[in-house]
Amino acid sequence: QSVLTQPPSVSAAPGQRVTISCSGSSSNIGANSVSWYQQLPGTAPTLLIYDNYKRPSGIPDRFSGSKSGTSATMDITGLRTGDEADYYCGTWDDSLNSVVFGGGTKLTVL
């Protein structure tokens, strides 16, 4: 069981917007910044969001992140079939002294 809780799956139509949630506690999300990763089938994860809302160079602004209290969300707008992937949130946990990840959310673009 993962330290961070994500919905197992979300879906939306092409062109629409989807929100993926990540729930934690005061020792992880409540105290530290959050990152988000996209993992296309058979490939390594790609960093999409860090420091809650920042995007690395090359990541389109269709991807956005936010944090409030012990939860974080990532929005993807203008959905494309190429966005179908697993998405993971991550952060540092002060109690576990470790980087922790969510269990992942599978995005289906209908």
Q: List C-alpha distances in Å: 56 to 13, 90, 100.
A: 26, 15, 20
For 26, other C-beta atoms within 10 Å of its C-beta total 11
Q: What is the biggest distance separating any 2 CA atoms in the chain, rounded to whole angstroms?
A: 40
Contacts of 41 (CB under 8 A, 6+ apart): 85
List binders of other proteins among 74-103 (CB under 8 A).
88, 90-92, 96-103
List binders of other proteins among 4-23 (CB under 8 A).
none
To the nearest whole angstrom, how small is the minimum distance from the Cβ of residue 15 to other proteins?
28
DSSP letter (8 states) at residue 83: G
To the nearest whole angstrom, how small is the minimum distance from the Cβ of residue 96 to other proteins?
7
Interface map 27-66 toward other proteins (x if CB under 8 A) = -----x--x-x------xxxx--xx----x----------
Q: Interface with other proteins by CB under 8 A: which residues?
A: 2, 32, 35, 37, 44-47, 50-51, 56, 88, 90-92, 96-104
